[in-house]
Amino acid sequence: MKRLTIVMCGACLAAAAHAEKVVQIHMVNADGVGEAIGTITASVTPWGVLFEPDLQSLPPGLHGFHVHQNPDCGPAEKDSEMAAAVAAGGHFDPQNTGRHKGPYGKGHLGDLPPLYVDGEGNATHPVLAPRLKMSDLNGRALMVHAHGDNYSDQPVELGGGGARIACGVVK
Ligand SMILES: [Cu+2]
């Protein structure tokens, strides 16, 4: 009887761990990783991965939002200057499409709908990524950019939302 209880509990834990990931998000700049501004919870739905932000202290408006390749929000050199969260690498693109086509296109798998930040600096509106699986998030980073995202590779600097302002490693 005791053994049965342990087995059932183990199954419960495994299911819970698979169903949801809470990612701690921090502001980032060229000097490193800064203050914690909240969390983004990713969970499985029948329609893809749902990202539920609970973030504060962001600039109001729409912000480009992506899964980036590396689990590292640190600064790194870009165009011979240190820049925020460049260590996270580019957009998660396991099929090497090299194309930024948005959450519903056939480019980067890491392209997500933009995050909406209200006039008080809070982001609470969930976004859905229909092509992603939870397992795609393991060992990646979530990235919030300074500007909106036009899902184009042009202009080169702003096509994906420009500078990186907030980031969290998926653990
Ligand atoms: Cu990005």
Q: Coil, strand, or helix at residue 105?
A: coil
pLDDT reported for residue 27? 98
Show the domain range for 32.
20-169
The CATH number assigned to the domain holding 118 equals 2.60.40.200
Q: Considering the domain boundaries, does residue 6 fall inside one?
A: no
Q: Please indicate, yes or no, if residue 10 is contained in any of the structural domains.
A: no
For the chain, what is the domain count?
1
Q: How confident is the model at residue 1 (pLDDT cuts 50, 70, 90)?
A: very low
User: Which tokens go with 143?
Assistant: 């990235």
* 7 Cα: distance to centroid of ligand 1 (angstroms): 41
Task: Give the model confidence (pLDDT) of 14-43 as tens digits.
Answer: 555 458 999 999 999 999 999 999 999 999
| pLDDT surpassing 70 at residue 158 | no
pLDDT of 8? 55
Distance 50 CA to ligand 1 centre (A): 17
Task: Return the pLDDT at 165.
Answer: 97
Whether 12 is covered by a domain: the verdict is no
Structural domain contains residue 1? no
Closest CA to 124 of 116, 112, 135, 134: 116
pTM over 0.85: yes
Residue 95 placed within a domain: yes
In-domain check, residue 47: yes
* Whole-angstrom distance, CA of residue 163 vs CA of residue 68: 13
- Does 83 fall in a domain? yes
* Spacing of C-alpha 34 from chain mean position: 17
Q: How confident is the model at residue 150 (pLDDT cuts 50, 70, 90)?
A: confident
Output the pLDDT for position 120. 98
Residue 11 pLDDT greater than 70, yes or no: no
- The answer to whether residue 11 sits within a structural domain is no
Q: 66 C-alpha vs ligand 1 centroid, how far in Å?
A: 5
What's the pLDDT tens digit per position in 51-96? 999 999 999 999 999 999 999 999 999 999 999 999 999 999 999 9
Task: State in Å: Cα 111 to ligand 1 middle.
Answer: 8
Around Cβ 142, how many Cβ atoms within 10 Å? Answer: 27
- How does residue 133 score in pLDDT terms, banded at 50, 70 and 90? very high
